[in-house]
Homo-oligomer: A and B are copies of this chain.
């Protein structure tokens, strides 16, 4: 155990990509990472800058050592923070890892750091600073990151969102102060590259990983985390429910440049041997502190499920499908008393406040089928989540609200409308929603449809669903498929919301497509490797990557090729002028045009 072999992860830049870092102006110490795609000189276009979630792993200049963890860049920022203090912290206990010290258990992560917490009476949350009018390094970091220093004409139809042409640090501060956005950034997670979650920013996606009693290991989970952010996961939730929960989380956090979320109830349940009835506030409280000291950035807490909500689920087709929700429902019924999470919610906030752990209010009563969508149980809980949001805000604790689930298209918008109204515009964080139940094995797709729509309507973060949903635990391949699918949904939402920078990437790729710059088309895509591989299947030769056609039509039929001839002719004939005349006529042709 003293000298374990660390897990191996995928490193190195994506095809055609390089990494650059932009310093802050208010906080010159920060370096905001971006990805840059160089284009074929023939394009005569500047490189395309992209939002980059992958951290140092895609930076050739970075020396990656999983056993030592990532550089602790935020330590320098926090050193300046007079509101924090270091302390001894809670010593790890056998039960933290499921009572196991056996040989199969994962090796402990090498170095343990003294945890930080707020000094007595102080608050260290981004919300507290925002309310005090302070722009933190985290705020400037995300402002630069969101913006990519670009602006372009707005073309979108925001539903509830109001995006400025450029994201300023002050706009970030204001959105956080209003509770409309959060920066999940535990002061004990200094490896973090801050990101923001709010409907007036880029739509974010979360990838769930984690082992279970049935399968997978520490090394696999660390690899999945790095793999998920390589393809664009903005946050990662560790939903481990098996053994070695504490140790696996250590390895993940020390190597994670993205916010890490957990459901502390899962570990608390392990500590009481998996018997829901045996859960206590004390065990749960101890688990919150354990995880807060490790640096978990956000906790999913199912405090909105109350005793009197449970009977509302009796008539459902799929009952309670949230793990946390069903555990708490069982506890409430067994004790015939109110949920201890609801009863102790103010104390939960006090703990989160000391470390700036963002609370993600879990939807324990989310529908698990089309039949149960938007029912009384779901909306009764949502009402309580609104009540709890105000409790958290009273303590300067950042809050996001979790949402469904399984919802047919015509019932999606009502979810956003109610959430915004009931929860004071706190960011909405939904799982899909899945828009039909009939495609097990393809629920990344059934849910991407709902996710894109709900993102357009104002949902701030989309929790991915993989092809394994309802069938098993996602492996590495499923994680990538889920992430890419959700990047599609999130970007489609950003286009529809009219994010000022979103369309630049579509346009650059479409120009590459029209110009037959195959390499540029691959590299500007979400998954260059797959795009290239599919092209290779029919036209494998390198020369084909320069060909002015593809196997769909072959040389004679290529419509884009013909379009080029037409354009050439058009120029010859000076049709640009004609075009204008016809465009005007075109308008006349269209009486219904609004």
Interface residues of A (CB under 8 A from B): 156-157, 212-215, 241-242, 266, 269, 274, 276, 308-315, 317-323, 325-327, 329-330, 333, 368-371, 376-377, 379-380, 383, 408-410, 414, 417-418, 421-422, 435-442, 444-446, 448-449, 452-453, 456, 467-468, 470-473, 475, 484-485, 487-489, 491-493, 495-496, 498, 503, 505-507, 509-511, 513-514, 521-522, 524-527, 530-531, 533-535, 537-539, 550-560, 562-567, 569-570, 575-576, 578-579, 581-583, 585-587, 589-590, 592-594
Contact partner, A492, options B371, B436, B560, Cβ 8 Å: B436
Distance in angstroms between the alpha carbons of A442 and B558 in the assembled complex: 21
- A325 proximity list for chain B (CB < 8 A): 559
Given the interface pairs A323-B559, A511-B317, the reply to whether A582 lies near B527 with Cβ below 8 Å is: no
Q: Establish whether residues A472 and B539, one from each chain, have CB atoms under 8 Å apart when the complex forms.
A: yes
Q: Establish whether residues B559 and A484, one from each chain, have CB atoms under 8 Å apart when the complex forms.
A: no
**9 closest cross-chain pairs (CB), A and B:** A319-B563, A213-B554, A369-B510, A157-B410, A376-B586, A326-B559, A311-B579, A326-B562, A472-B538
Distance in angstroms between the alpha carbons of A460 and B151 in the assembled complex: 39
Q: Establish whether residues A484 and B156, one from each chain, have CB atoms under 8 Å apart when the complex forms.
A: no
- A329 proximity list for chain B (CB < 8 A): 562-563, 566
- A330 proximity list for chain B (CB < 8 A): 562, 565-566
Q: From A555, which residue of chain B is reached at the shortest CB distance?
A: B213
Q: Establish whether residues B496 and A409, one from each chain, have CB atoms under 8 Å apart when the complex forms.
A: yes
- A467 proximity list for chain B (CB < 8 A): 534
**Nearest Cβ distance between residue A148 and chain B, in whole angstroms?**
15
**Nearest Cβ distance between residue A331 and chain B, in whole angstroms?**
10
Given the interface pairs A314-B575, A318-B560, A510-B437, the reply to whether A408 lies near B496 with Cβ below 8 Å is: yes
Contact partner, A439, options B435, B488, B566, Cβ 8 Å: B488
Contact partner, A379, options B368, B505, B522, B593, Cβ 8 Å: B593
- A493 proximity list for chain B (CB < 8 A): 409
- A383 proximity list for chain B (CB < 8 A): 589-590
Q: Establish whether residues A370 and B507, one from each chain, have CB atoms under 8 Å apart when the complex forms.
A: yes
Distance in angstroms between the alpha carbons of A484 and B467 in the assembled complex: 13
Distance in angstroms between the alpha carbons of A579 and B314 in the assembled complex: 7
Distance in angstroms between the alpha carbons of A509 and B274 in the assembled complex: 29
With A438-B526, A473-B538 known, 20 other A-B pairs at CB within 8 A are: A157-B410, A214-B551, A269-B556, A274-B557, A311-B576, A314-B567, A318-B563, A320-B559, A321-B563, A327-B562, A369-B506, A376-B582, A410-B498, A436-B495, A437-B506, A439-B484, A440-B522, A445-B485, A448-B448, A468-B538
